[in-house]
Amino acid sequence: MDSNGILQILIYILLIVVVTPLLGGFMARLFGGERVLLSPVLGPVERSLYKICGVNAAREQHWAAYALSLLMFNLAGVLVLYGLQRLQAHLPFNPAAMAAIAPDLAFNTAISFVTNTNWQAYGGETAMSYLVQMAGFTVQNFVSAATGIAVAVALIRGFARNGAKSIGNFYVDLTRAVLYLLLPLCVVGALVLVWQGVPQNLSTYVEATTLEGGAQVIAQGPVASQMMIKHLGTNGGGFFNANAAHPYENPTALVNLLHMVAIFAIGAGLTNTFGRMVGDQRQGWAILGAMGVLFVIGVAMAYWAEAQANPALVQAGAEAVGSLEGKEVRFGTALSALFAVITTAASCGAVNAMHDSLMPLAGMVPLVNMMLGEIVVGGVGAGFYGMMVFVILTVFIAGLMVGRTPEYLGKKIEAREVKLAIIAMLVFPLGVLGLGAVGLLAGAGSIPAGGPHGLSEVLYAYTSATANNGSAFGGFGANTLLHNVLLALAMWFGRFVVILALLAVAGSVAAKRTVPPSSGTFPTQGGLFVGLLVGVIVVVGGLTFFPVLALGPIVEHLLLSAGTLF
């Protein structure tokens, strides 16, 4: 660890703190139905879209109707994206003559992009046509991100309203998230990426002659337009197989910084939106503070681990300063470790270094981030509503301590809300330990690495899928019928069971009357609440997943340190 690396990390944190109230205030006005800067230009477009689609923007929905609309919309997205992949050989904008995608891989990929996971068991530049990348993946990058934002906003309305029967209109929230928030930011961001050297064209691949006289095919295409929403929408699916380590996806230090800021921007901003909409910005800062504590701990641990020389290289007599295996030298250990923590603290999954090459304890940090449900800022919307699961549990525990019915923002937290929070929480261990165990036992042939690291690869894959992250320990052979199906199921249930549970919470608390605070009300905007919230997260997550972490990364670290792993 050095001062330059620490300074870069501190600059990043400062930028997120600055961006949070700016985006938070804009989203509060946007989803509160107020006029925003872009309303004169985009208002007529919005109203035209409602008219074409037959949406009554003034009619709000009960939580069950909101959930049904969300599920039907996303199911339609799965069918369209599956069809595009299966038919791509017969569709236009396919200059490299890509063949149709196999049924099981197309199913896995369709589920992956619709659930905002973007798990990729294929190489983008060698498997997918320009049409699939644009009309399939990029479109889903927008609407899957907007879906998460819509759920977060619906939950915020639940806590902000008093005796209400509705939580908003899904199609209105989805349209506004795409039209006013994601599209404008991505248009500007994509132009910056093009300026910095990211390709944006429909040209055929170029064949070049190397210095050694060999032939090399250089892939290109509509990259910049996908890259911006990939990070801003915490999607993570790369145009190229090497993802953000590829020089066309991430050509400069400025682009790398823009990617990292974009990953956290909306997720952090939603905490401020929450504070504004419930009438107390301190509530939002408290939630962001808890996220920040966990984030700083993760970055410090990952950076420390990656700054150490690999014991295997030292024992072999090599001079090693830090761990540079699997990394772009232009980013180094600090920015590689920072990016790895950011992308798994959010449900992004983009990588600028190969996570399979991380030192064992550094690799454990992304695992822990995902196992906690990616609540450390998290995916756009998903991080906020995932954190609210732990907020509900925290105030419930605080209520037990003082022997009174727990309250949060004047709403009584009763058995129904706690049960729904537990259901949302149990999705992660069931997906990881349940489906992951089946994948481990039945798919051993796809695990080339033996011992604890092989276990870590499988554990990482099913954790990434259930948490809707999409990053991977790349040595794992995911493209088999078994894993394509199991991982798709993990992604689907990891996304929509949690969403349904939280929308039910939103409907429940929206219908409740707000009670005024009393002398026994536990304050939820100060340091005591932040500390208790962090403690609940760590204890609950630790009890659930520590045994499997101890069998994987921790054992791997001990064996590597002892020189017996290789």
Dump pLDDT digits (tens) for 144-177. 999 999 999 999 999 999 999 999 999 999 999 9
Helices (H) and strands (E) in the chain, counts: 22, 4
- Tokens representing 173? 């929230």
Rg, Å, the chain Cα set: 23
- As a whole number, mean pLDDT of residues 468-495 equals 90
Relative to beta strand 411-412, strand 407-408 is antiparallel
Least confident of 31-45, 100-114, 206-220, 486-500: 206-220
Is residue 463 within 8 A of residue 437, CB to CB? The reply is no
State the Cα angle at 185 between 183 and 187, rounded to 5°. 65
475 is in which domain, residue-wise? 3-562
Spatial distance between the Cα atoms of 139 and 150, rounded to a whole number of angstroms: 16
pLDDT tens, position by position, 34-56 = 999 999 999 999 999 999 999 99
The CA distances from residue 19 to 111, 121, 339, 364, in Å, are 31, 34, 18, 29
Spatial distance between the Cα atoms of 478 and 458, rounded to a whole number of angstroms: 9
Residue 356 has pLDDT above 50, yes or no: yes
- Tokens representing 330? 């232009």
Residue 566 has pLDDT above 50, yes or no: no
- The average confidence (pLDDT) of the chain is 89
DSSP class of residue 351?
A: -
- As a whole number, mean pLDDT of residues 288-298 equals 94
Spatial distance between the Cα atoms of 106 and 127, rounded to a whole number of angstroms: 11
Residue 465 has pLDDT above 80, yes or no: yes
Residue 251 has pLDDT above 70, yes or no: yes
Phi and psi dihedrals of 409, rounded to 5?
55, 35
Is residue 134 within 8 A of residue 229, CB to CB? The reply is no
The pairs formed by 202-209 with CB atoms below 8 angstroms and a separation of 24 or more are 202/93, 202/95, 202/130, 203/95, 204/95, 204/96, 205/95, 205/96, 205/125
Spatial distance between the Cα atoms of 330 and 308, rounded to a whole number of angstroms: 18
Spatial distance between the Cα atoms of 282 and 279, rounded to a whole number of angstroms: 9
The H or E element that residue 380 is part of is: none
* Owner of token pair 């026994």: 520
Spatial distance between the Cα atoms of 292 and 341, rounded to a whole number of angstroms: 12
Ranges assigned E (strand) in 272-370: none
- As a whole number, mean pLDDT of residues 318-334 equals 80
Longest dimension (CA), the chain: 80
* Structural domain count of the chain: 1
Give the burial string for 310-335 (b: 16+ CB within 10 Å, else e): bbbeeeeeeeeebbbeebbeebbbbb
pLDDT tens, position by position, 357-395 = 888 888 888 988 998 888 898 889 999 999 999 999 999
Is residue 209 within 8 A of residue 230, CB to CB? The reply is no
Residue 214 has pLDDT above 60, yes or no: yes
Identity of the residue numbered 482: L
* Cα dihedral value 468, 145, 237, 23, nearest 10: -110
Q: pTM here?
A: 0.93
Residue 199 has pLDDT above 80, yes or no: yes
- Tokens representing 187? 């248009």
Residue 451 has pLDDT above 80, yes or no: no
Is residue 449 within 8 A of residue 457, CB to CB? The reply is yes
pLDDT tens, position by position, 173-195 = 999 999 999 999 999 999 999 99
CA-closest candidate to residue 84, choices 126, 121, 129, 116 = 129
Spatial distance between the Cα atoms of 207 and 80, rounded to a whole number of angstroms: 33
pLDDT tens, position by position, 509-536 = 999 998 888 777 788 888 999 999 999 9
Report the interhelical angle of 3-31 vs 253-277 (nearest 10°).
40
Residue 222 β-bridge partners: 200
Spatial distance between the Cα atoms of 409 and 413, rounded to a whole number of angstroms: 10
DSSP per-residue string spanning 396-428: HHHHHHHTS--EETTEE--HHHHHHHHHHHHHH
Query: In whole angstroms, what separates CA 208 from the centre of its chain?
Result: 36
- Tokens representing 98? 């890509």
Spatial distance between the Cα atoms of 200 and 202, rounded to a whole number of angstroms: 7
* Residue 550 banded pLDDT, cuts 50, 70, 90: low
- The per-residue pLDDT for 561 is 60
- Tokens representing 237? 């699916």
- As a whole number, mean pLDDT of residues 225-236 equals 94
- The per-residue pLDDT for 317 is 66
